[in-house]
C-alpha cells in the first residue's frame, strides 16, 4: 500500500516522545502506576451485587507502610557534578575512589549508576539545559568583534590610501593650501562632566545658569589649514523654529566680522546651509589652488560644490575622507574640536565659579 503523508499531529507526537526519551536518559525518572476501573458513562448507576466473605476479619489484616512516589528531576548544578567526577577520578590517578567515599563528600549522589551518568554528561559538556545556561551574550560579542575586526582591516586600508592621496597634494600645492572643515555641535551652556566630591557620594548636583541651555545646542563649521591657521569667519547655525531671526533679535544679536550666523529648526546644518557656507565663507578665503578635506556626509555632494564654484577657482580639489575613518584621519576630529570644547567648558566653569555677569546661553 502507498504510504500516507505525515501529519503535523504525528510530528508533534514524535517530538514529545523523543523529548521524553531524552529526559529519561539524562535524568532520573520514577513511574507511578495506578489501576482504575472506568465506565462508559460514569454518571450511570451500574447494577451491583454485594458479595460477603464470612471468614474475612479486618483485625487480622496486615498493616502496610504507604510510601509516596515522586518524580525527581535532576537539577543538580553542572559545577557540582564536575567536582564529584574530579574527586572520583583525579587527574593522573589510575584507580578511581570508592563510591562510598564519593557519596560521603557529595550527598546528592545516590547511586553509582548516576555517577557514571554524570561522567558521560561531563564528556558531552553537560546536559542540554546546562549547555543552554552557559550560552551568553559573550558568544555573540565574539562574532561581532570578529566582524568588526575584519571591517577595521578594510577601513585601515582605505584610510591609508586616503593619506597617501593627501600627501601627493601636499607636495603639489603645499601645506598652506590644504584645508579641513567639519561640523560639531555645542550646547548653549557647556560644562565639564567631572567635579570634586566626598568619596562615596551617590548624587552630585551642580548649579547652571539655565538647565534647558545644557540640552539645546548650536552647530559650528570652522576651517583650518595644514599650516595651522583658523580661517575667518566662523560659520554658526543656531536653533530657531522659524529658521529666521525676527527683527527684534536681529537688533540685539551680537555681530562681528569673524562670525557668519544662520538658523535652522534643529540647530544643525542642512544642504542649503552648506551651499551658503561654500559661497560666503569657504570660496572667498581661497587662492587659485587648494584642497578641501570633507567627511562623507550626504550634504557634501560634488554637484553642490560644482554648482557653487566661482569662475576663478579652477584648481580646487575636494577629497572625501572614507566613512568610518574620520576619528583617525580628520584633523578637526583628531585634535581641533577637543581643544575647542575644553576651552568652552573651562570658560563656562570659571563664569559660574566667580559669579561673573556673563550670560552663557545667549
Which CATH number does the domain housing residue 342 bear?
A: 3.30.420
Same domain, 159 and 273: yes
Return left, alpha or beta for 70; rule: phi > 0 is left, psi -120 to 50 is alpha, else beta.
beta
Indicate if 179 and 112 belong to the same structural domain. Answer: no
Please tell me the predicted confidence (pLDDT) of residue 222.
94
Query: What confidence score (pLDDT) does residue 289 get?
Result: 86
Residue 221 contacts residue 277 (beta carbons within 8 Å) = yes
Mean pLDDT of all residues in 321-336:
88
What is the Cα–Cα distance from 315 to 290, expressed in whole angstroms?
7
Domain annotation covers residue 296: yes
- Residue 250 lies inside a defined structural domain of this protein: yes
Same domain as 226, residue 167: yes
d(CA 309, CA 17): 76
Q: What percent of the chain has pLDDT over 70?
A: 77
Q: What range defines the domain where residue 343 resides?
A: 147-192+208-354
Residue 69 confidence (pLDDT): 43
Each residue of 26-62: pLDDT tens digit? 666 666 666 665 555 545 555 556 566 666 666 666 6
Q: How far apart are CA 214 and CA 207, in angstroms?
A: 11
Per residue in 233-264, pLDDT tens? 999 998 888 878 877 777 777 788 899 999 89
179 and 254 both lie in a single domain = yes
In a shared domain, residues 177 and 87: no
Assigned domain for 197 exists: no
Residues 96 and 177 in one domain: no
pLDDT single digits (tens) 295-305: 888 777 777 77
Inside any domain, residue 1: no
Of the listed ranges 27-41, 171-185, 265-279, 340-354, the one predicted with least confidence? 27-41
Is position 342 within any domain? yes
Q: Are residues 87 and 175 in the same domain?
A: no
Strand segments (E) across 59-172? none
pTM for the whole thing? 0.56
> pLDDT tier at 200 (50, 70, 90 boundaries)?
confident
Using CA of residue 274, residue 275, residue 279, residue 283, what is the dihedral sign? Answer: positive
Quote the CA–CA distance of 343 and 206 in Å, as a whole number: 19
Listed range (19-28, 71-80, 148-157) with the worst mean pLDDT: 71-80
239 and 306, same domain (yes or no): yes
How confident is the prediction for the chain on average, in pLDDT? Answer: 79
| 258-276: pLDDT as tens digits | 999 998 988 888 888 999 9
Residue 91 above 80 pLDDT? no
Q: What is the mean pLDDT of residues 344-353?
A: 88
For the chain, helix, strand, coil in percent to 5 are 45, 10, 45
Amino acid at each position: 500500500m502507498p504510504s500516507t503523508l505525515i501529519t503535523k499531529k504525528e510530528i508533534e507526537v514524535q517530538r514529545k516522545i523523543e523529548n521524553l526519551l531524552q529526559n529519561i536518559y539524562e535524568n532520573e525518572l520514577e513511574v507511578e502506576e495506578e489501576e482504575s476501573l472506568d465506565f462508559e458513562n460514569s454518571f450511570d448507576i451500574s447494577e451491583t451485587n454485594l458479595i460477603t466473605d464470612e471468614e474475612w476479619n479486618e483485625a487480622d489484616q496486615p498493616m502496610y507502610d504507604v510510601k509516596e512516589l515522586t518524580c525527581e528531576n535532576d537539577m543538580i548544578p553542572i559545577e557540582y557534578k564536575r567536582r564529584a567526577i574530579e574527586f572520583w577520578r583525579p587527574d593522573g590517578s589510575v584507580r578511581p575512589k570508592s563510591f562510598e567515599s564519593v557519596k560521603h563528600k557529595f550527598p546528592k549522589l545516590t547511586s553509582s549508576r548516576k555517577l557514571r551518568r554524570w561522567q558521560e554528561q561531563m564528556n558531552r559538556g553537560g546536559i542540554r539545559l546546562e549547555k543552554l545556561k552557559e550560552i551568553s551574550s559573550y558568544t555573540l560579542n565574539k562574532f561581532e568583534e570578529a566582524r568588526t575586526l575584519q571591517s577595521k582591516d578594510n577601513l585601515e586600508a582605505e584610510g591609508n590610501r586616503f593619506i597617501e592621496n593627501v600627501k601627493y597634494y601636499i607636495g603639489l600645492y603645499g601645506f598652506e593650501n590644504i584645508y579641513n572643515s567639519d561640523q560639531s555641535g555645542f550646547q548653549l551652556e557647556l560644562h565639564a562632566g567631572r567635579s570634586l566630591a566626598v568619596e562615596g557620594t551617590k548624587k552630585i548636583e551642580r548649579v547652571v545658569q539655565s538647565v534647558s541651555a545644557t540640552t539645546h545646542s548650536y552647530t559650528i563649521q570652522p576651517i583650518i589649514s595644514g599650516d595651522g591657521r583658523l580661517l575667518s569667519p566662523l560659520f554658526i547655525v543656531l536653533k530657531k523654529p522659524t529658521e529666521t531671526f525676527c527683527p527684534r533679535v536681529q537688533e540685539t544679536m551680537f555681530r562681528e566680522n569673524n562670525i557668519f550666523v544662520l538658523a535652522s529648526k534643529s540647530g544643525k546644518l542642512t544642504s542649503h546651509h552648506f551651499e551658503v557656507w561654500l559661497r560666503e565663507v569657504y570660496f572667498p578665503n581661497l587662492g587659485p589652488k587648494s584642497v578641501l578635506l570633507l567627511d562623507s556626509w550626504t550634504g557634501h555632494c560634488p554637484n553642490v560644490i560644482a554648482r557653487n564654484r566661482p569662475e576663478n577657482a579652477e584648481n580646487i580639489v575636494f577629497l572625501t575622507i572614507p566613512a568610518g575613518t574620520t576619528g583617525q584621519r580628520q584633523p578637526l576630529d583628531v585634535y581641533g574640536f577637543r581643544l575647542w570644547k575644553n576651552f568652552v567648558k573651562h570658560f563656562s566653569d570659571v563664569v559660574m565659579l566667580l559669579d561673573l555677569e556673563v550670560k552663557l546661553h545667549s
